[in-house]
DNA sequence: GTCCGAGATTTCCTTGTGGG
DNA sequence: CCCACAAGGAAATCTCGGAC
Protein backbone atom coordinates (compact mmCIF):
# COMPACT_ATOMS: atom_id res chain seq x y z
CA UNK A 1 0.00 0.00 0.00
CA UNK A 2 1.61 3.27 -1.12
CA UNK A 3 -0.76 5.70 0.56
CA UNK A 4 -1.38 6.52 4.20
CA UNK A 5 -4.46 7.13 6.35
CA UNK A 6 -3.19 10.63 7.00
CA UNK A 7 -3.22 11.36 3.28
CA UNK A 8 -6.78 10.01 3.09
CA UNK A 9 -7.89 12.20 6.00
CA UNK A 10 -6.34 15.26 4.34
CA UNK A 11 -8.01 14.29 1.06
CA UNK A 12 -11.46 14.18 2.72
CA UNK A 13 -10.76 17.53 4.43
CA UNK A 14 -9.88 19.18 1.10
CA UNK A 15 -12.94 17.63 -0.57
CA UNK A 16 -15.18 19.02 2.20
CA UNK A 17 -13.56 22.46 2.43
CA UNK A 18 -12.85 23.00 -1.25
CA UNK A 19 -9.52 24.69 -0.53
CA UNK A 20 -6.11 23.64 0.73
CA UNK A 21 -6.12 26.52 3.21
CA UNK A 22 -9.52 25.55 4.61
CA UNK A 23 -8.52 21.91 4.94
CA UNK A 24 -5.26 22.93 6.65
CA UNK A 25 -7.20 24.92 9.22
CA UNK A 26 -9.61 22.06 9.73
CA UNK A 27 -6.98 19.42 10.46
CA UNK A 28 -4.58 21.85 12.20
CA UNK A 29 -1.58 21.56 9.87
CA UNK A 30 0.00 23.99 7.41
CA UNK A 31 -1.21 24.29 3.80
CA UNK A 32 2.02 22.86 2.33
CA UNK A 33 1.50 19.65 4.32
CA UNK A 34 -1.94 19.26 2.77
CA UNK A 35 -0.70 20.13 -0.69
CA UNK A 36 2.12 17.60 -0.54
CA UNK A 37 -0.16 14.89 0.87
CA UNK A 38 -2.69 15.36 -1.94
CA UNK A 39 0.05 15.25 -4.56
CA UNK A 40 1.49 12.08 -3.03
CA UNK A 41 -1.95 10.47 -2.87
CA UNK A 42 -2.61 11.30 -6.51
CA UNK A 43 0.75 9.79 -7.44
CA UNK A 44 0.15 6.67 -5.33
CA UNK A 45 -3.34 6.09 -6.76
CA UNK A 46 -2.27 7.21 -10.24
CA UNK A 47 -5.42 9.29 -10.55
CA UNK A 48 -6.13 13.01 -10.69
CA UNK A 49 -8.32 13.71 -7.62
CA UNK A 50 -8.78 17.46 -8.00
CA UNK A 51 -8.87 20.10 -10.70
CA UNK A 52 -6.79 23.05 -9.48
CA UNK A 53 -8.70 26.29 -9.87
CA UNK A 54 -7.87 29.83 -8.76
CA UNK A 55 -10.56 29.67 -6.10
CA UNK A 56 -9.53 26.27 -4.75
CA UNK A 57 -9.69 22.61 -5.66
CA UNK A 58 -12.63 20.90 -7.31
CA UNK A 59 -13.11 17.13 -7.22
CA UNK A 60 -12.78 15.31 -10.52
CA UNK A 61 -15.23 12.48 -11.34
CA UNK A 62 -12.53 10.02 -10.30
CA UNK A 63 -11.94 12.07 -7.15
CA UNK A 64 -15.63 11.81 -6.22
CA UNK A 65 -15.48 8.05 -6.67
CA UNK A 66 -12.34 7.82 -4.54
CA UNK A 67 -13.94 10.07 -1.91
CA UNK A 68 -16.87 7.73 -1.27
CA UNK A 69 -14.49 4.75 -0.95
CA UNK A 70 -12.21 6.78 1.32
CA UNK A 71 -15.06 7.76 3.63
CA UNK A 72 -16.14 4.14 3.93
CA UNK A 73 -12.55 3.10 4.61
CA UNK A 74 -12.03 5.75 7.29
CA UNK A 75 -15.38 4.89 8.87
CA UNK A 76 -14.26 1.27 9.19
CA UNK A 77 -10.90 2.40 10.56
CA UNK A 78 -12.60 4.51 13.20
CA UNK A 79 -14.91 1.58 13.92
CA UNK A 80 -11.84 -0.54 14.58
CA UNK A 81 -10.60 2.11 17.01
CA UNK A 82 -13.99 2.09 18.74
CA UNK A 83 -13.83 -1.71 18.92
CA UNK A 84 -10.40 -1.64 20.56
CA UNK A 85 -11.89 0.54 23.26
CA UNK A 86 -14.92 -1.71 23.60
CA UNK A 87 -12.63 -4.70 24.11
CA UNK A 88 -11.24 -2.92 27.15
CA UNK A 89 -14.74 -2.07 28.32
CA UNK A 90 -14.73 1.59 27.32
CA UNK A 91 -15.67 3.69 24.32
CA UNK A 92 -13.11 6.06 22.84
CA UNK A 93 -12.88 8.29 19.82
CA UNK A 94 -14.82 11.26 18.47
CA UNK A 95 -18.51 11.73 17.78
CA UNK A 96 -20.06 14.81 16.18
CA UNK A 97 -23.47 15.97 17.35
CA UNK A 98 -25.54 18.45 15.37
CA UNK A 99 -28.25 20.54 16.96
CA UNK A 100 -31.03 22.77 15.75
CA UNK A 101 -29.73 26.23 16.51
CA UNK A 102 -32.50 27.29 18.93
CA UNK A 103 -32.21 24.04 20.90
CA UNK A 104 -28.43 24.02 21.21
CA UNK A 105 -27.91 26.30 24.24
CA UNK A 106 -30.68 24.53 26.15
CA UNK A 107 -30.13 20.83 25.53
CA UNK A 108 -26.44 20.47 24.67
CA UNK A 109 -24.83 21.26 28.05
CA UNK A 110 -26.70 18.52 29.91
CA UNK A 111 -26.22 16.01 27.09
CA UNK A 112 -22.49 16.74 26.78
CA UNK A 113 -21.89 16.73 30.53
CA UNK A 114 -23.66 13.45 31.20
CA UNK A 115 -22.11 11.77 28.15
CA UNK A 116 -18.62 12.93 29.20
CA UNK A 117 -19.15 11.51 32.69
CA UNK A 118 -20.20 8.17 31.26
CA UNK A 119 -17.67 8.01 28.41
CA UNK A 120 -14.66 10.13 29.45
CA UNK A 121 -12.48 8.87 26.58
CA UNK A 122 -14.91 10.09 23.92
CA UNK A 123 -14.72 13.65 22.64
CA UNK A 124 -17.91 15.32 21.37
CA UNK A 125 -17.74 17.90 18.61
CA UNK A 126 -20.76 20.16 18.16
CA UNK A 127 -22.25 21.74 15.06
CA UNK A 128 -25.36 23.93 15.15
CA UNK A 129 -27.52 24.78 12.17
CA UNK A 130 -30.95 25.16 10.66
CA UNK A 131 -32.98 22.11 9.66
CA UNK A 132 -31.79 22.05 6.06
CA UNK A 133 -28.17 22.52 7.17
CA UNK A 134 -28.41 19.60 9.62
CA UNK A 135 -29.90 17.38 6.91
CA UNK A 136 -26.98 18.29 4.64
CA UNK A 137 -24.42 17.66 7.39
CA UNK A 138 -25.90 14.17 8.02
CA UNK A 139 -25.97 13.26 4.35
CA UNK A 140 -22.34 14.33 3.90
CA UNK A 141 -21.22 12.45 7.00
CA UNK A 142 -20.09 15.64 8.76
CA UNK A 143 -22.21 14.86 11.83
CA UNK A 144 -23.22 11.49 13.35
CA UNK A 145 -26.53 12.58 14.90
CA UNK A 146 -28.65 15.68 15.23
CA UNK A 147 -31.06 16.73 17.93
CA UNK A 148 -33.79 18.67 16.20
CA UNK A 149 -37.49 18.99 15.40
CA UNK A 150 -39.69 16.69 13.32
CA UNK A 151 -39.91 19.05 10.35
CA UNK A 152 -39.53 18.04 6.68
CA UNK A 153 -37.67 14.80 7.46
CA UNK A 154 -36.42 13.30 4.16
CA UNK A 155 -36.92 9.61 3.35
CA UNK A 156 -33.22 8.76 3.52
CA UNK A 157 -32.91 9.90 7.15
CA UNK A 158 -34.47 8.54 10.33
CA UNK A 159 -36.17 10.66 12.99
CA UNK A 160 -36.96 9.26 16.43
CA UNK A 161 -39.33 11.53 18.42
CA UNK A 162 -38.56 11.92 22.14
CA UNK A 163 -40.83 14.72 23.38
CA UNK A 164 -43.66 16.87 22.03
CA UNK A 165 -43.48 20.64 22.44
CA UNK A 166 -46.70 22.65 22.04
CA UNK A 167 -46.24 26.06 20.41
CA UNK A 168 -46.80 29.07 22.69
CA UNK A 169 -47.29 32.78 22.13
CA UNK A 170 -44.46 34.96 23.47
CA UNK A 171 -45.27 38.49 24.62
CA UNK A 172 -43.69 41.15 26.82
CA UNK A 173 -44.69 41.49 30.48
CA UNK A 174 -46.94 44.54 29.84
CA UNK A 175 -48.73 43.08 26.81
CA UNK A 176 -52.55 42.81 27.02
CA UNK A 177 -52.26 39.00 26.57
CA UNK A 178 -49.59 38.53 29.24
CA UNK A 179 -52.09 37.71 31.98
CA UNK A 180 -54.28 35.41 29.87
CA UNK A 181 -54.36 31.70 30.69
CA UNK A 182 -54.52 30.90 26.97
CA UNK A 183 -54.81 32.79 23.72
CA UNK A 184 -56.49 32.22 20.34
CA UNK A 185 -54.24 32.87 17.33
CA UNK A 186 -56.93 35.20 15.96
CA UNK A 187 -56.13 37.55 18.86
CA UNK A 188 -52.68 38.13 17.34
CA UNK A 189 -54.17 39.62 14.18
CA UNK A 190 -52.79 43.15 13.87
CA UNK A 191 -50.03 42.64 16.46
CA UNK A 192 -46.57 43.20 14.97
CA UNK A 193 -44.99 39.77 14.61
CA UNK A 194 -41.28 38.90 14.97
CA UNK A 195 -40.53 35.98 12.64
CA UNK A 196 -37.73 33.49 13.25
CA UNK A 197 -36.58 33.46 9.63
CA UNK A 198 -34.83 30.09 9.32
CA UNK A 199 -35.46 27.72 6.40
CA UNK A 200 -38.30 25.25 7.15
CA UNK A 201 -38.88 26.84 10.62
CA UNK A 202 -40.45 29.93 9.08
CA UNK A 203 -42.88 27.72 7.13
CA UNK A 204 -43.89 25.98 10.36
CA UNK A 205 -44.65 29.23 12.21
CA UNK A 206 -46.47 30.79 9.25
CA UNK A 207 -48.53 27.61 8.86
CA UNK A 208 -49.89 28.12 12.40
CA UNK A 209 -51.42 31.42 11.26
CA UNK A 210 -52.59 29.87 7.98
CA UNK A 211 -54.44 27.07 9.82
CA UNK A 212 -56.23 29.68 11.89
CA UNK A 213 -57.17 31.80 8.88
CA UNK A 214 -55.08 34.73 10.10
CA UNK A 215 -52.42 36.60 8.13
CA UNK A 216 -49.52 37.59 10.38
CA UNK A 217 -48.39 41.21 10.49
CA UNK A 218 -44.69 40.37 10.11
CA UNK A 219 -42.78 43.43 11.32
CA UNK A 220 -39.29 41.97 11.56
CA UNK A 221 -37.43 38.86 10.48
CA UNK A 222 -34.30 37.52 12.12
CA UNK A 223 -32.32 34.30 11.96
CA UNK A 224 -31.38 34.49 15.66
CA UNK A 225 -33.75 33.13 18.30
CA UNK A 226 -32.33 35.41 21.01
CA UNK A 227 -33.02 38.44 18.80
CA UNK A 228 -36.66 37.29 18.53
CA UNK A 229 -36.83 37.02 22.31
CA UNK A 230 -35.20 40.44 22.84
CA UNK A 231 -37.61 42.11 20.40
CA UNK A 232 -40.56 40.47 22.17
CA UNK A 233 -39.29 41.34 25.66
CA UNK A 234 -38.93 44.99 24.61
CA UNK A 235 -42.50 45.15 23.32
CA UNK A 236 -41.54 45.54 19.66
CA UNK A 237 -43.74 42.63 18.67
CA UNK A 238 -45.06 39.21 19.58
CA UNK A 239 -43.87 35.85 18.39
CA UNK A 240 -44.59 32.13 18.54
CA UNK A 241 -42.07 29.60 19.76
CA UNK A 242 -41.86 26.01 20.89
CA UNK A 243 -38.84 26.22 23.20
CA UNK A 244 -39.52 27.53 26.69
CA UNK A 245 -36.16 28.21 28.37
CA UNK A 246 -36.04 27.91 32.17
CA UNK A 247 -34.72 31.48 32.08
CA UNK A 248 -37.84 33.38 30.96
CA UNK A 249 -35.97 36.60 30.18
CA UNK A 250 -34.20 37.99 27.11
CA UNK A 251 -30.43 38.58 27.14
CA UNK A 252 -31.03 42.19 28.25
CA UNK A 253 -32.83 40.90 31.35
CA UNK A 254 -36.34 41.93 30.34
CA UNK A 255 -38.99 39.25 31.01
CA UNK A 256 -40.85 37.24 28.39
CA UNK A 257 -44.26 35.73 29.07
CA UNK A 258 -45.24 32.48 27.34
CA UNK A 259 -48.99 32.00 26.90
CA UNK A 260 -50.46 28.64 25.80
CA UNK A 261 -52.40 28.62 22.53
CA UNK A 262 -56.06 27.56 22.77
CA UNK A 263 -56.33 26.53 19.09
CA UNK A 264 -56.03 22.79 18.48
CA UNK A 265 -52.47 22.70 17.08
CA UNK A 266 -50.29 19.60 16.85
CA UNK A 267 -47.25 19.53 19.13
CA UNK A 268 -43.84 19.81 17.47
CA UNK A 269 -41.75 16.77 18.26
CA UNK A 270 -38.13 17.09 19.34
CA UNK A 271 -35.96 14.05 18.76
CA UNK A 272 -32.88 12.50 17.21
CA UNK A 273 -32.21 12.63 13.48
CA UNK A 274 -29.73 10.14 12.05
CA UNK A 275 -28.75 8.24 8.95
CA UNK A 276 -30.66 4.99 8.42
CA UNK A 277 -27.43 2.98 8.18
CA UNK A 278 -23.76 3.70 8.74
CA UNK A 279 -24.21 3.87 12.53
CA UNK A 280 -21.09 3.75 14.73
CA UNK A 281 -20.82 2.42 18.29
CA UNK A 282 -20.19 5.95 19.50
CA UNK A 283 -23.25 7.33 17.73
CA UNK A 284 -25.36 4.54 19.28
CA UNK A 285 -24.03 5.35 22.74
CA UNK A 286 -24.71 9.05 22.31
CA UNK A 287 -28.19 8.39 21.00
CA UNK A 288 -28.92 6.19 24.01
CA UNK A 289 -27.76 8.98 26.30
CA UNK A 290 -30.02 11.51 24.56
CA UNK A 291 -32.97 9.09 24.82
CA UNK A 292 -32.43 8.93 28.57
CA UNK A 293 -32.21 12.71 28.98
CA UNK A 294 -34.93 13.93 26.63
CA UNK A 295 -38.30 12.52 27.64
CA UNK A 296 -41.93 13.68 27.32
CA UNK A 297 -41.72 15.01 30.90
CA UNK A 298 -38.22 16.50 30.74
CA UNK A 299 -36.37 18.45 28.07
CA UNK A 300 -33.01 19.82 29.29
CA UNK A 301 -33.00 23.58 29.81
CA UNK A 302 -36.77 23.95 29.39
CA UNK A 303 -39.59 24.47 31.86
CA UNK A 304 -41.66 21.31 32.43
CA UNK A 305 -44.70 21.02 30.15
C1' DG B 1 -1.66 46.94 -18.64
C1' DT B 2 -0.71 47.04 -13.81
C1' DC B 3 -1.49 46.10 -9.16
C1' DC B 4 -3.33 43.44 -5.46
C1' DG B 5 -5.11 39.59 -3.03
C1' DA B 6 -6.21 34.72 -2.53
C1' DG B 7 -4.74 30.32 -2.88
C1' DA B 8 -1.48 26.55 -4.34
C1' DT B 9 3.07 24.89 -4.79
C1' DT B 10 8.07 24.54 -4.14
C1' DT B 11 12.20 24.75 -1.50
C1' DC B 12 14.61 24.34 2.53
C1' DC B 13 14.85 23.53 7.17
C1' DT B 14 13.72 21.32 11.80
C1' DT B 15 12.03 17.65 14.53
C1' DG B 16 10.81 13.04 15.77
C1' DT B 17 11.26 8.15 15.20
C1' DG B 18 13.00 3.67 14.09
C1' DG B 19 16.71 0.60 12.63
C1' DG B 20 21.45 -0.84 12.74
C1' DC C 1 24.96 7.03 18.88
C1' DC C 2 24.41 7.70 14.05
C1' DC C 3 21.85 7.65 9.94
C1' DA C 4 17.77 7.59 7.03
C1' DC C 5 13.30 8.83 6.46
C1' DA C 6 8.81 10.99 7.11
C1' DA C 7 6.09 14.79 8.61
C1' DG C 8 5.38 19.38 9.02
C1' DG C 9 6.37 24.54 9.15
C1' DA C 10 8.26 29.07 7.23
C1' DA C 11 9.26 31.67 3.49
C1' DA C 12 9.41 32.43 -1.26
C1' DT C 13 7.36 31.87 -5.60
C1' DC C 14 3.80 31.01 -8.97
C1' DT C 15 -0.91 31.41 -10.92
C1' DC C 16 -5.08 33.48 -11.66
C1' DG C 17 -9.06 36.64 -11.22
C1' DG C 18 -10.74 41.10 -10.21
C1' DA C 19 -10.37 46.09 -9.75
C1' DC C 20 -8.78 50.28 -11.58
Does A33 contact strand C, using a CB cutoff of 7 Å?
Answer: yes
- Between these two residues, A115 and A46, which has the higher pLDDT value? A115
Most confident of A59-63, A123-127, A169-173, A294-298: A169-173
For position A82, what pLDDT does the model report?
60
- Work out the percent of chain A whose per-residue pLDDT is above 90: 30
Claim: this prediction has a pTM higher than 0.75: no
Contact of A75 with A93, CB cutoff 8 Å: no
pLDDT digits (tens, 9 = 90+) for A57-98: 878 888 888 888 888 887 777 666 666 555 566 777 778 899
* pLDDT computed for residue A187 by the predictor: 92
Domain A5-83, CATH: 1.10.10.10
Where in chain A are the domains? 5-83, 90-164+268-293, 167-260
Segment A123-153, tens digit of pLDDT: 888 889 888 889 888 887 778 899 999 988 8
Nucleotides of chain B touched by protein CB (<7 A): 5-11
CA A54 to C1' C17, whole Å: 7
* CA atom of A168 to C1′ atom of B18, Å: 66
Determine whether the distance from the CB of A28 to the nearest atom of strand C is below 7 Å: yes
Which of A75 and A173 is assigned the larger pLDDT? Answer: A173
At the second CATH level, the architecture of A167-260 is: 3-Layer(aba) Sandwich (3.40)
Q: What is the pLDDT of residues A252-269, one digit of tens each?
A: 999 999 999 998 888 889
CB atoms within 10 A of CB A185: 21
Tell me if A90-164+268-293 shares its fold with A167-260.
Answer: yes
The residue whose CA lies nearest the C1' of nucleotide B10 is A32
A90-164+268-293 to CATH, choices 3.40.1180.10, 3.40.190.10, 3.40.50.300, 3.40.50.1970: 3.40.190.10
Separation of A99 CA and C16 C1' (Å): 39
Please tell me the distance from the alpha carbon of residue A138 to that of residue A128, in angstroms, as a whole number.
12
> Residue A69 CA to B14 C1' — how many Å?
35
Is A58's CB less than 7 Å from nucleic acid strand C? no
What is the per-residue DSSP string for A229-254? HHHHHTTS-BEEES--BSS-B-TTS-
By DSSP bridging, strand A145-149 and strand A122-129 are: unpaired
Average pLDDT over residues A16-26: 79
Q: How far is the CA of A3 from the C1' of B11 (A)?
A: 23
Amino acid sequence: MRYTFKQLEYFVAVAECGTIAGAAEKVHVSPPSISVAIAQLEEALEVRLFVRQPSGLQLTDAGSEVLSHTRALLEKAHGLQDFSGLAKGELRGKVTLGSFITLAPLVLPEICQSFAERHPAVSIELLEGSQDQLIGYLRRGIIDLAITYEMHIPQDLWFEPLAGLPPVVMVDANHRLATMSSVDIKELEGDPYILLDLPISRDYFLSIFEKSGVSPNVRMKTTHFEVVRSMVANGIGVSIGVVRPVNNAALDGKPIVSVPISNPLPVLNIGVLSRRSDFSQLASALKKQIQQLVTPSHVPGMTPL
